[in-house]
C-alpha cells in the first residue's frame, strides 16, 4: 500500500513498518504499515481527509492499555495521539488534549483543588481512550464529569460534541460508531478540599497496588462485569489463575487480569482469553464479554 503523508507530517513524525509493541501498555503485537504522531489538530483532520481520498484504513492509538493488536500488525495508518497532551483550566473547568494521560489530568485537578476525577488517578490510559470507553473505577466514571469534546469526524471536520450526545454508558460510548477521533475533552469539576482529594487518591492507589498485578504489562480487566456476577470471581472459581499459554498468564494476584510475563505474543494472549471464556461458560453458563478491544491482521 502506497501511503504518502509527507505534505502533512515532518519526517520525525512518520515511521514506516513501525513495531507497535513499545507504544502499547500490553507490550505485544505487530507493526503499523505507517505510524504518524501528530502535534496539531489540523494534522489529524488532514490525515482523515487523505485516508478518505485514497481509501486507506486508519486507526487511533492512545496508550494501548485497552487494546490488543494482533501479531500481523495494522494495515494502513496508525495515528498515535500521545503528543497532543496539553492540560489547562479556567476555574473549575479543565481542558485536556486527548493524548494527555488521564492520571495526569487527575493530578492536575488535585493541584487546583478540584474534585471529581479522583477515580481516574490509576487508570493508565489517555483522555481520548477514557472517553472512548467511558472509563471508570471505584464508583466514578468519565460520564460524571465530561462536559464536551472536540473531535474530528469521519469526513475530516473538526466538531464539538456535547457529552450527552456521546452515548456514555458502562464502558461504552458512541465514539466508535460515529467514527470520532477525540482531540480534546472539557471536564467540569467542583472546588474541593485538597487534603481530602489527596486522601481519596492515595486510598485508591493503595487499593490498586495491593490488588492488581501492576508489575507486569497487561490490558487491565479483560472482561466486562457480567450482570449479577464478577468476572474475576468466576475466573477464580474456575481454577484458572496461573493458567498460561506461552508467556500470557491469568494473574494469580487478580483473576480478571491476563499478564504478559515477558515475551507473550498477541496470539498467546488471545488464545488464553478464549480458553477463559470457554471454561467459565462450561462451568457457570456465563458468557464473559471482552472489555478489551482486539484489532489487526492475524
Ligand X SMILES: Cc1cc2nc3c(=O)[nH]c(=O)nc-3n(C[C@H](O)[C@H](O)[C@H](O)COP(=O)(O)OP(=O)(O)OC[C@H]3O[C@@H](n4cnc5c(N)ncnc54)[C@H](O)[C@@H]3O)c2cc1C
Active site residues: 171, 221, 291
d(CA 59, CA 132): 13
If the CB atoms of residues 50 and 119 are measured against ligand X, the closer one turns out to be: 119
Residue 40: C-alpha distances to residues 23, 219, 248 (Å): 19, 28, 37
Q: Is 248 in the site for ligand X (CB under 6 A)?
A: no
Q: Is 43 in the site for ligand X (CB under 6 A)?
A: no
| Among the listed residues 120, 110, 295, the one whose alpha carbon sits nearest the alpha carbon of residue 195 | 110
If the CB atoms of residues 63 and 277 are measured against ligand X, the closer one turns out to be: 63
CB of 294: closest distance to ligand X in angstroms? 10
If the CB atoms of residues 60 and 146 are measured against ligand X, the closer one turns out to be: 60
Q: Is 106 in the site for ligand X (CB under 6 A)?
A: no
CB of 222: closest distance to ligand X in angstroms? 10
Binding part of the chain for ligand X, among 70-78, 132-140, 226-234, 275-283 by CB under 6 A, reads 132-140
Q: Is 64 in the site for ligand X (CB under 6 A)?
A: yes
Q: Is 95 in the site for ligand X (CB under 6 A)?
A: no
Q: How far from each other are the two terminal CA atoms of the chain, in whole angstroms? A: 18
d(CA 111, CA 262): 36
If the CB atoms of residues 82 and 115 are measured against ligand X, the closer one turns out to be: 82
Binding part of the chain for ligand X, among 109-117, 120-128, 226-234, 269-277 by CB under 6 A, reads 120-128
Instruction: Give the DSSP letter string of 186-249.
Output: EEE-EE--HHHHHHHHHHHHHHHHHHS-TTS-EEEE-B---TTS-HHHHHHHTT-TT-EETTEE
Q: Which residues pair with 182 in a beta bridge?
A: 151
Residues 157-196 that bind ligand X (CB under 6 A): 175, 180-182
Q: What is the largest distance, in Å, between two alpha-carbon atoms of the chain? A: 56
SS3 66: coil
Binding part of the chain for ligand X, among 27-35, 58-66, 194-202, 271-279 by CB under 6 A, reads 58-66
203, 209, 211, 212 alpha-carbon torsion, rounded to 10° = 130
Q: Is 73 in the site for ligand X (CB under 6 A)?
A: no
Among 89, 106, 115, 212, binds ligand X (CB under 6 A): 212
Interface contacts to ligand X, rule CB under 6 A: 25, 59-67, 81, 98, 123-126, 128-130, 132-133, 135-137, 175, 180-182, 212, 214, 218-220, 293
Amino acid at each position: 500500500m502506497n501511503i504518502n503523508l509527507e505534505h502533512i507530517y515532518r519526517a520525525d513524525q512518520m515511521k514506516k513498518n513501525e513495531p507497535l509493541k513499545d507504544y502499547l501498555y500490553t507490550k505485544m503485537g505487530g507493526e503499523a504499515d505507517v505510524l504518524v504522531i501528530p502535534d496539531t489538530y489540523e494534522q489529524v483532520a488532514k490525515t482523515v481527509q487523505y485516508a478518505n481520498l485514497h481509501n486507506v484504513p486508519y486507526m487511533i492509538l492512545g496508550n494501548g492499555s485497552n487494546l490488543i493488536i494482533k501479531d500481523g500488525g495494522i494495515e494502513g495508518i496508525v495515528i498515535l495521539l500521545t503528543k497532543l497532551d496539553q492540560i489547562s483550566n479556567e476555574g473549575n473547568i479543565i481542558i485536556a488534549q486527548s493524548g494527555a494521560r488521564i492520571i495526569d489530568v487527575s493530578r492536575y485537578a488535585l493541584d487546583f483543588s478540584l474534585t471529581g476525577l479522583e477515580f481516574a488517578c490509576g487508570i493508565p490510559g489517555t483522555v481520548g481512550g477514557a472517553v472512548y470507553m467511558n472509563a471508570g473505577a471505584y464508583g466514578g466514571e468519565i460520564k460524571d464529569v465530561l462536559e464536551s469534546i472536540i473531535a474530528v469526524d469521519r469526513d475530516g471536520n473538526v466538531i464539538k460534541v456535547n457529552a450527552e450526545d456521546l452515548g456514555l454508558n458502562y464502558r461504552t460510548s458512541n465514539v466508535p460508531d460515529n467514527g470520532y477521533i477525540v482531540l480534546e475533552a472539557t471536564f467540569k469539576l467542583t472546588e474541593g478540599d485538597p487534603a481530602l482529594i489527596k486522601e481519596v487518591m492515595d486510598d485508591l492507589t493503595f487499593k490498586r497496588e495491593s490488588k492488581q498485578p501492576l508489575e507486569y504489562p497487561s490490558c487491565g480487566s479483560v472482561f466486562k462485569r457480567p450482570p449479577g456476577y464478577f468476572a474475576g470471581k468466576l475466573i477464580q472459581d474456575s481454577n484458572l489463575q496461573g493458567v498460561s499459554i506461552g508467556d500470557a498468564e491469568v494473574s494469580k494476584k487478580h483473576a480478571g487480569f491476563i499478564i504478559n510475563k515477558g515475551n507473550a505474543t498477541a496470539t498467546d494472549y488471545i488464545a488464553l482469553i478464549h480458553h477463559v471464556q470457554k471454561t467459565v461458560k462450561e462451568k457457570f453458563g456465563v458468557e464473559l464479554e471482552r472489555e478489551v478491544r482486539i484489532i489487526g491482521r492475524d
